[in-house]
Amino acid sequence: MSASNEDDCKNKGVCLDGSGNPTTSMDSNSCATSSGTWTAGVFAVDSANANNEYACHGNSWAKSCYRCTGNSANSGSPDDAPNCIRHGGTWALYAASTTESLCEAAGGHSAFTNTFEGGQTVAGASVADGGIMQVGMDCSTGPSHTLEAESCIKDTTFDADIDAGTTGSAAFAANLNYYNSNSGMNGLASMTTYPYVVKAATVTASPNLAVDSSICFLPFLRPKNEGTLFISPDATYGHVLITEPRNYAAADKILFSSGKASILGGTNAGDIEFATDKQVRLWGIVNSGSVKFTLSQNIVIGDVTNSGSIVMTGTKQAIVSVTNEATGTVVGNGAGAYYVYNVVNKGTITINEGTVDAMIKCNSGTITLGAGVTGTVTIGNECTGGTITAGGATVVNAVATYASVTISLDGVTAADFTTDVQNSFKEVVATAAGSVCGADGASSCAPSDVSLTVARRGVKVSYSIQTYSDTSASAAVTTLNTYMASNQFVTDLNSKSIAASGASVVSSMTGSTPEASGGGATSSDSGMGVGVLIVIIVVALVVVVAIVGLVLYFVVFKSSESSADDKTEEQVMVSMSPGITMGKHDTK
């Protein structure tokens, strides 16, 4: 019996007659009707034979090649026992076959009891070299592989769909040629879905996967890397988007040397280097390794947890909602520009030169600014115990003051107030509060400045907006009381799909602690301005979620390797032959 995967194996079996010979029955019901004995397939790890394809298949084609002989005329050459017998043939092992080519030449068909697949490495497997694998594929190309494209597929349509908030299904329906054709994204992404660059323990030359300059837009979904990823797409239109990577400590590096570079989510314990002068986005990654930035003047680093090393040299970046853990180091060298917002520092931050406009909401670590650094660093009071050396910059110690309001909403229930609805509510009140946020008390508020709780009896929403002065907090309370008493408040809620029919203010106050105890993080923009706040905080969060969603739809809906959070983790055997195993999904 031959099966392509676990489900296929379990659904298949063999029906034997009273003499132990296979019959024409192909399922358990028909087998029982013919008084046969049905034996279902069993899918199990054969770790002793998982080192390579040859071993997995029984060490010999003589044990795996079957052919149909004596079948009736014009019946073709059936490739399974039931069809062979149905046409009057004899299904038997062809022991004279010692190679795959001899088997095929004799009209034989492989009938391996084991299925060889890429996937999670089996413990104890021993190989001479590593390579690149893709789940279920068997095209071996050696220890290096270069991805090339016959035409330049740009990210223009993809970006437009993201900006418009288009769903995955709608995007596909509107642009089938772009998303689904083999000459479009489907043909490219089929090469980069769950690739695994494997470095064996005894490796002498590290395997590498390269993206060359013929490629423009290319998404990678959940790659695993123990070797090297060389990313060098078209210098003008290139954009390589990697979602949820796992870059191991044993890896040499992931290197971006040209085009736009984006990494969304995932983990890094190795080295990642952004050496491109184009746009760079690093969002949502957990870093315990090393990340380096050079050249680019358009970098966003957001929602990153760092316990490793981040080094920026002569670059311009916005650093948003980053947590630098106790073992984490962040270093800025060269004449860079650093726009920092909503950062928690428990480790070490060193900026040697350049300009800085920063809001550190919590510093329990060490911050050192060089004598050549100019600008302002505002330190919030959400934690204590940290130190800061000002260098040539101005340091402001800010004390948070909150504008807190409790309102009653008509027409909605507590159950209606989902996380998405709460986020929409935050957008409405943050916009309405006016320019009272930031250390300067003159910047627009963002949803991340709002925290809220929802009462379960009726719908009473308590929310707080963080400011940094009594004057700003009082101004926010006055503005919001007037706004929420107007019809415009309900209209704005309705425009965000919050079906409120009315609202009334229950209480409002200012204070040093937020009235609302749950919800989003408190923060400030340290005078970064409306444009930076809105683009970085609001749009970036929405865009990142949309990008991941569209890429996931693209792969999961259209790929034959769908339906799992991490498909590679479900596989039980691994391609351990030297070199690279790559392949394309069936796109028919």
Residue where the block lists tokens 């670590």: 365
Phi first, then psi, for residue 88 (nearest 5°) are: 80, 15
Residues 6 or more apart in contact with residue 44 via CB below 8 angstroms: none
d(CA 301, CA 444): 21
Residues 6 or more apart in contact with residue 577 via CB below 8 angstroms: 52, 53, 127, 131, 140
Stronger pLDDT, 110 or 368, i.e. the higher one = 368
Q: DSSP assignment, residue 468?
A: S
Residues 6 or more apart in contact with residue 160 via CB below 8 angstroms: none
Angle between helix 419-432 and helix 470-484 axes, rounded to 10 deg: 110
Residue 78's pLDDT band (boundaries 50, 70, 90)?
A: low
At 275-292, the pLDDT tens digits run 999 999 999 999 999 999
Residue where the block lists tokens 């726009």: 339
At 79-95, the pLDDT tens digits run 666 677 667 777 777 76
Average pLDDT over residues 257-284: 95
pLDDT of residue 413: 84
Question: Is 249 in contact with 269 (CB distance < 8 Å)?
Answer: yes
Residue 447's closest CA among 364, 542, 369? 542
CA dist 434 → 9, 465, 486, 532 (Å): 63, 11, 16, 16
Q: DSSP assignment, residue 439?
A: T
Average pLDDT over residues 326-338: 96
Question: Is 223 in contact with 195 (CB distance < 8 Å)?
Answer: yes
Question: Is 573 in contact with 44 (CB distance < 8 Å)?
Answer: no
Q: DSSP assignment, residue 42?
A: -
Q: pTM for the full model?
A: 0.60
Residue 112's pLDDT band (boundaries 50, 70, 90)?
A: very low
Average pLDDT over residues 121-149: 46
Q: What is the DSSP string of 282-317?
A: EES-EESSEEEEES-S-EEEES-EESSEEEEES-EE
Stronger pLDDT, 515 or 304, i.e. the higher one = 304
Residue 376's closest CA among 391, 388, 393, 363? 393
69-73, 369-373, 396-400, 493-497 — most confident range: 369-373
Average pLDDT, the chain: 74
Question: Is 136 in contact with 583 (CB distance < 8 Å)?
Answer: yes
Average pLDDT over residues 128-142: 40
Please compute Rg for the chain using Cα positions: 30
Question: Is 474 in contact with 525 (CB distance < 8 Å)?
Answer: no
> What's the CA dihedral at 98, 102, 104, 107 to 10 degrees?
-100
pLDDT of residue 28: 80
Question: Is 441 in contact with 399 (CB distance < 8 Å)?
Answer: no
d(CA 524, CA 478): 20
Average pLDDT over residues 22-32: 77
Residue 96 CB neighbours (<10 A): 12
Extract the tokens encoding 555.
Answer: 């792969």
Stronger pLDDT, 96 or 328, i.e. the higher one = 328
pLDDT of residue 77: 58
d(CA 225, CA 472): 50
Average pLDDT over residues 4-26: 70
Q: What is the 3-state secondary structure (H, E, C) of 512-552?
A: CCCCCCCECCCCCCCCCCHHHHHHHHHHHHHHHHHHHHHHH
Is residue 97 over pLDDT 70? no
At 427-469, the pLDDT tens digits run 999 999 988 887 667 788 888 788 888 876 567 888 888 887 7
At 156-196, the pLDDT tens digits run 888 888 777 777 778 777 887 787 766 666 666 656 777 77
Lowest mean pLDDT among 226-240, 312-326, 462-476: 462-476
Which amino acid type is present at position 519? Answer: G
Residues 6 or more apart in contact with residue 133 via CB below 8 angstroms: 118, 119, 195, 196, 198, 574, 575, 580, 581, 582
Question: Is 192 in contact with 147 (CB distance < 8 Å)?
Answer: yes
> 154-182 b/e with 16+ CB inside 10 Å = b?
bbebbeebbeeebebeebbeebeebbbee
Q: How far apart are the first and last CA of the chain?
A: 26
Residue where the block lists tokens 């909401």: 361
Residue 400 CB neighbours (<10 A): 21
Extract the tokens encoding 521.
Answer: 């993080």
Q: DSSP assignment, residue 414?
A: G
Stronger pLDDT, 138 or 97, i.e. the higher one = 97
Question: Is 503 in contact with 409 (CB distance < 8 Å)?
Answer: yes
Stronger pLDDT, 335 or 516, i.e. the higher one = 335
Question: Is 294 in contact with 275 (CB distance < 8 Å)?
Answer: yes
CA dist 570 → 76, 251, 374, 562 (Å): 37, 22, 52, 11
d(CA 242, CA 304): 15
Lowest mean pLDDT among 97-106, 318-327, 347-356, 534-543: 534-543
d(CA 293, CA 265): 18
3-state SS assignment for residue 180: helix
- Label the pairing between strands 65-69 and 299-302: unpaired
